[in-house]
Structure 1
């Protein structure tokens, strides 16, 4: 065997996704159950806005779905993070998952009965968001206790990549269902699949070991109240780089997330049908491709610079996609945007998980949940409102350009983010 042949496997390992976290049995079960449940969730993620647009013929109502999801995240996300630092995180995950199942069954029942109420759709989306706000911080904080610290970036990348894989396959399958049957049949099928597959997450949570909170270093009892939440914000205030990372993610999602425009654009430009599934899948396809060659991300030291560049790239790619009229070009540019999104997401989440002590991870993941899940919902509202006033083209292109410009301005105004390097983490201010 030549030296070149010997070096090839090593080079492939340097770039290929790191699968070592799957050697940990508890993490592997959670990863599998979560992957199956996320695949099912994608059917609902496509079906709800499609149903809303079919009922109202108005992208503004589709954008209101973002409000219905964001408000509960804001109200319950921080509290859910505090709960995850006080109670057994396994039990918190179980309770949130059960509530999510109830919300999906509600969507299934209203579709079967043909209720046709936009307000009921908003209410069920809000209930789903409450369940996500409760379970999300616990699920994310669990990772750092299921794998060693040196495998946290790899586990984070694996989680994001799996989520993107389900975000590709799920919307494509949902688009196929919408193309094969009329809405009266397609919607109950989509909601029923989600309710069935969600059982896998409940199974995974049941198989987890107990995850009680670690003792408070001050020795006092901890409660999931306002004081606990304030302590989390106080800790976060002592880490300006983390604050800036949250801010730049909000910019990316609020200004450049075009999801609420997909039903209208698919119907008006590309004839509807399976086109909407491709639009919903395109960003996830890019993230999946980036994840499959993500071995280099764990070796990045200038994480702040990589974060800024990837967010600016996301905004530019989204803006250019909004200008394109060929369907294949729109999809290709959204794929590029998804690649940038995966990189920024992994870098930021890895910084947060490794940086924070376990006693704070739940609360910080609660803040993270409000930012990561709430940002796209606000983006839905922004896109829907702009589309109603100025048209979908202006809403799409203008948002992408604004995100790129604001992210660059933030990096220039606060250079600490650009200067951040992985090896300097221990010197960051702590509260």
Structure 2
């Protein structure tokens, strides 16, 4: 009570705390450095939402398994054929289902409960991984069966991924979407680092087919997290018809055409990935340039992990991204950093220099991806969000497939390093050209956000 024995103590404590704060935050003091570091680290506010947190945590396990399969398919095909040109066929067999089912899957996600659709497609992905395990372990069917099963899995992923992305804005407030996108991409890339490294270590020990089985088992975590979600039906008027036909798909294209910033965000990513993703040359370079044994080893795992390593580092220090308003400028610069890293990778004769250049490219890709995802989620309405995410997934996943199709023959004819360098240069030239033709993208500014505690 006033004047009681505790009053002087409270006054002294208050003065001591104030003095401590002044000391800690004074010029050159550790507290200021600590505050700056906290401001640079990733924004974790979305993890306070239970549904999002479960999906995010389950994604760590699932991505590790999925990335082991990403290593297994091209490595198995190269082992069976000894040709990067055959490995390049994974681009064709992955691209066609991604285009068809990515666009159609976005329309489906706008017409039915997205939680149910995630469960169906997640189960389909797990079954295709089991089928790849059986085929690889038994040796039945050869390279064409592996490519066919890979195509089926790509179709399931093409529906699953836009559906998952369309759910996120229903779980979180709009102001947290950039942070959520950074967290999503970071956890995906953490798995993409660990997965390839594990693959490189496990192939000589347990054999390549086991990687497919581990992928199928890991998918159970995401299926559990999806099962715990509430129903997520599309938001639309009660009298609206729920359809997912060609008319709805074309309506999505018209929507993109009316929003030039979104249109350019798609075009610039096609350029970045279609010219610049050099993963097809990794098996050949790991063996012929960096000394891996036939069938793959640690160099192969490091090459596949290097880009995700850069993205993880970029994601861990992504706390500053929400303060940048000139997001069109940021995307353009980040894409050029990606192209530069890929071009220098192709010139590297040292494994560690190659990994460093790929990591630099990955950091640029993380920044570009965060801003492009936030642009999409901010502009699109819920009734169009599935279709916009479908286009986004087709672009994001389809671009590397285009790169697979030309990198394979180019590596066979010119050498894998030359193919990668030419692709990186083409990224920089192409990005600058497209942004010059559409200055509205360069001038785009993102929405402001009031600072809030984390």
Cα distance, 1:14 vs. partner?
A: 1.4
Q: Residue by residue, what CA displacement relative to the aligned partner does 1:263-299 show, whole Å, maximum 9, x if unpaired? A: 0000101112210000000000000001000001111
Question: 2:415 is matched with which residue?
Answer: 391
Alignment match, 1:429: none
Aligned residue in 1 for 2:16:
none
Equivalent residue, structure 2, for 1:186: 207
Q: Choose which of 132, 136, 141 in structure 1 pairs with 2:166.
A: 141
1:265 aligns with 2:290: no
Decide whether the 8 Å contact of 1:39 with 1:167 is kept in 2.
yes
Q: Deviations over 1:299-344 (max 9, x none)?
A: 1100000000110111111101101111111111111011001000
Pairwise mapping of residues 14-163 of structure 1 onto structure 2 (< 5 A)?
14-115=39-140, 117-163=142-188
1:247 aligned residue (267, 274, 295): 267
Q: CA deviation digits over 1:321-374, x for unaligned, max 9?
A: 101111111111111011001000111001101221111110000000100011
TM-score normalised by L of structure 1: 0.95
Distance in 2, matches of 1:187 and 1:202, equals 25
Distance 1:176 1:104 in 2: 20
TM-fit CA distance, 1:88: 0.2
Are the counterparts in 1 of residues 112 and 242 from structure 2 also a CA contact under 8 Å?
no
Structure 2 length-normalised TM: 0.90
In structure 2, what is the Cα distance between the partners aligned to 1:84 and 1:61?
A: 34
* Structure 2 unmatched ranges of 5 or more: 1-19, 449-454
How far is the alpha carbon of 1:423 from its aligned partner?
3.7
Q: What is the distance in 2 between the residues matched to 1:325 and 1:119?
A: 34
> Alignment partner of 2:233: what SS?
coil
CA distance in 2 between partners of 1:138 and 1:87 (Å): 10
Residues paired across the two proteins, number: 419
Distance 2:277 2:429 in 1: 15
Match of 2:437?
413
| 1:156 shift after superposition | 0.6
Residue from 230, 235, 245 that aligns with 2:255: 235
Q: Which residue pairs with 1:427 in the alignment?
A: none
Shift of 1:378: 1.0
Is 2:189 aligned against 1:169? no
Separation in structure 1 between the aligned mates of residue 331 and residue 222 of structure 2, nearest angstrom: 31
Pick from 284, 287, 290 the counterpart of residue 314 of structure 2: 290
Q: Is the 8 A contact 1:101 1:198 kept in 2?
A: yes
Asked if structure 2 preserves the Cα contact closer than 8 Å seen for 1:169 and 1:281, the reply is yes
CA contact (8 A) 2:343 2:421 kept: yes
1:116 CA drift (Å): 6.1
Partner in structure 1 of residue 339 of structure 2: 315
Separation in 2, partners of 1:177, 1:423: 46
